Amino acid sequence: MSAALPQNPSRRSVLKGLGMAVLAAGPLSACAFGSDDKPANNGPTGTVSANNPLGVAANAPLEVVIFKGGLGDAYATEVHEPMYKKAYPEATIKHMPTQQISQTMQPRFASGDVPDVIANSGSDVMDNGALASEGQLLDLTPLFDAPAIGGSGKVRDGLLPGTVEAGILSGKPYLMKYIYTVYGLWYDQALFEKNSWTPATTFEEFDALLGKIKAAGLKPYAYAGKNASYYQYWMIAITAAKIAGNQVLIDMDNLKEGVWTSEPVLKAATAWAEIGKKYLDPSFEGLTHTEVQTAQNQGQIGFYPSGSWLENEQKEQTPATFKYGLTPTPSVTSSDKLPFGAVRAAAGEAYIIPAKAKNPQGGLEYMRMMLSKEGARGFSEKTGNITVVKGAADGLPLSPGTKASNDALNKAGDNIITYNLFEDWYKEFETELRAKTNALMFGRITPDQFCKDVQAKADAVRNDSAVTKQNRTS
């Protein structure tokens, strides 16, 4: 996403012929990765020992593909890859940065010539659900059950709650989610202090505050409709969860009949549609996330919905006077099930190992290093983002945005709204949701029609026997 973390609408391709010509196509279909080929895990292996519990072949080459978006790739080239090279000096490491993950990787998946580790993110993200259903992803259970580096117990024991579960597809952990992300409304603390503006706790207060921001000559609220409309449906889903509790997101993930037309979702859509009607600039539907984010850094925008990767992604465009702040989405009514301070926070940013990787044991070891306190701390130092490794960032100086995220988490306490997994599970549905979100927020459809249209797409996916169904219980 990056937007670095979340996942933008993917463009898939149909690959034909020896030339691997890539033709523009719609959402990824099940056949795009060659399901007739049986995945192989027959990579080189070494002697299993206390220092090498995964049996890595010391001289086996390792290829790492990194999405170079908001997180950059210095965390890989200056932290994780040197850790691997230190442990296995005979191994050569091929590093490949790209912003076109799907376009670059699809031909390689189709041919079987895949790398060993992939940071699958960005606007050209691959469909993890489809990859898993095709047998193209390696089960990461051995990683999470391996001994933790530099600590006691297993790798999984040192991770924040819900981390392993966030990467489960069809009952197995195929994804390693790495960043603990906090979502909400971002603003410039310095600008707000200068104007004596205080973030609102209710939609009524939010409306009044946006009016003041508009009167000051700013765009009060903005998101990028061209490639980041998912930022806005997050806000609608979070608001629905505040109204009715986290069960509404579980129902969304499970494609439950009637969830999108339920009263909490309709109330949330109505509240946000009113904000769009009064305060969204229509031209923003044609802008990218970086364009809108940079406009905020230039003092032109009040609030922007996003995740806690935002500060790092914008560091090159952010003036020294700009100080990122985060506030939760406003409450709709006094009877909301969750308090104003409730925030959505979860393990995100998926890393995968192809089932046909040439060095799958090396890939697992590389991830084990990422999930060590040393690897996680180095990542935080390079990116400003907190990982899923417990305590890895303790004692590090925190930037304003990271501190704001931590403060929001501390205030939320147990009131954490958990991740929408349909983003990984049902990309065709998620792509349609993006389009309907723009239509709602820019006034082309009513909240009632939005709910009906999105529910119809959810029903179509639920009733499609060709789509592998997932299940979430908590």
pLDDT tens digit string along 300-340? 999 999 999 899 889 999 999 999 999 999 999 999 999 99
Place of tokens 């603990």: 180
Domain co-membership, 174 together with 193: no
Domain co-membership, 192 together with 138: no
In a domain, 461, yes or no: no
- Residue 302 phi, psi dihedral angles, 5° rounding: -75, -75
Per residue, the 3-state secondary structure of 390-435, as one string, reads CCCCCCCCCCHHHHHHHHHHHHHCCCEECCCCHHHHCHHHHHHHHH
Q: Is the pLDDT of residue 118 over 90?
A: yes
Q: How far apart are CA 114 and CA 108, in angstroms?
A: 5
Q: What residue spans of 3-99 are helical by DSSP H?
A: 74-75, 81-87
Q: What total number of domains does the chain contain?
A: 2
Domain co-membership, 233 together with 276: yes
Dihedral of alpha carbons 347, 275, 249, 290, sign: negative
- pLDDT number for residue 41: 55
Domain co-membership, 55 together with 175: yes
Q: How far apart are CA 202 and CA 208, in angstroms?
A: 10
Q: Is the pLDDT of residue 368 over 60?
A: yes
- Tens digits of per-residue pLDDT, 138-147? 999 999 999 9
Domain co-membership, 284 together with 335: yes
In a domain, 16, yes or no: no
Domain boundary pick from 316, 343, 370? 343
Domain co-membership, 269 together with 153: no
One-letter identity of residue 296: Q
- pLDDT number for residue 37: 38
Say if CB 204 and CB 414 are below 8 A apart: no
Domain co-membership, 257 together with 311: yes
Q: Indicate which CATH number applies to the domain containing 326.
A: 3.40.190.10
Domain co-membership, 267 together with 156: no
Q: Is the pLDDT of residue 15 over 60?
A: no
Domain co-membership, 255 together with 320: yes
Domain co-membership, 187 together with 129: no
- Tens digits of per-residue pLDDT, 60-111? 999 999 999 878 999 999 999 999 999 999 999 999 999 999 999 999 999 9
Beta bridge partners of 188: 324
Q: How far apart are the first and last CA of the chain?
A: 25
Q: Full-prediction pTM beyond 0.75?
A: no
In a domain, 205, yes or no: yes
One-letter identity of residue 270: T
In a domain, 290, yes or no: yes
Domain co-membership, 122 together with 264: no
When pLDDT is cut at 50, 70 and 90, the band that residue 42 belongs to is: low
- pLDDT number for residue 40: 42
- pLDDT number for residue 19: 30
Q: How far apart are CA 27 and CA 13, in angstroms?
A: 8
Q: How many other CB atoms sit within 10 Å of the CB of residue 321?
A: 11
Domain boundary pick from 327, 343, 359? 343
Give the range of the structural domain holding residue 280, as residue numbers without chain letter: 183-343
In a domain, 147, yes or no: yes
In a domain, 245, yes or no: yes
Q: Is the pLDDT of residue 462 over 90?
A: yes
In a domain, 27, yes or no: no
In a domain, 81, yes or no: yes
Domain boundary pick from 343, 362, 396? 343
Q: What share of the chain is helix, strand, coil (3-state, %, to 5)?
A: 40, 15, 40
